[in-house]
Amino acid sequence: MKGLERRHGQVVKQDWAPPISVVHAADSVLEVRWKEATSQLIRKKCAEMGVWIIGGFCSGLRGEEMVLVELAGTRNSLQFLNEISQPHLGFVITGRTKNNRASGAKFELPIARVTRGTGLQPGKWIKRLLDC
């Protein structure tokens, strides 16, 4: 009976963030794949996964909200990526999210380019994707 209730949405589990150890492992694997990539297509796929996993973890976006990231708008925030005075970059989000109910509205979600406590580098993966 429990399986039937799950399939019908009566038993709901919250969408939890992956543990930091899993995110670090994914980052390590993607970094190796990036360095070993023999084609631009493989590099682009690695960068997409890096943005999805590392960027999603650092921004707090989950699942379908990551699809709302607008890369054209996000590119503008990368011009300050190497400046120490600008430690953040912005994910430009288009559409409805948990906290933004205005339909079609765009807003910028600031995320750290490098997280000090974890050492994750979402800025590096976003730049790699946009450069592919």
Please write the tens of the pLDDT for every residue from 66-115. 767 777 777 777 776 666 666 777 777 777 666 666 666 777 777 877 77
Whether this prediction's pTM lies above 0.85 is answered by no
Cα gap 81→132, rounded to integer Å:
17
Identify whether the C-beta of residue 120 lies closer than 8 Å to the C-beta of residue 98. Answer: no
Upper half-sphere CA count for residue 62 (Cβ side, 13 Å): 7
Cα gap 61→132, rounded to integer Å:
23
pLDDT at 31 > cutoff 90: yes
Cα gap 3→17, rounded to integer Å:
24
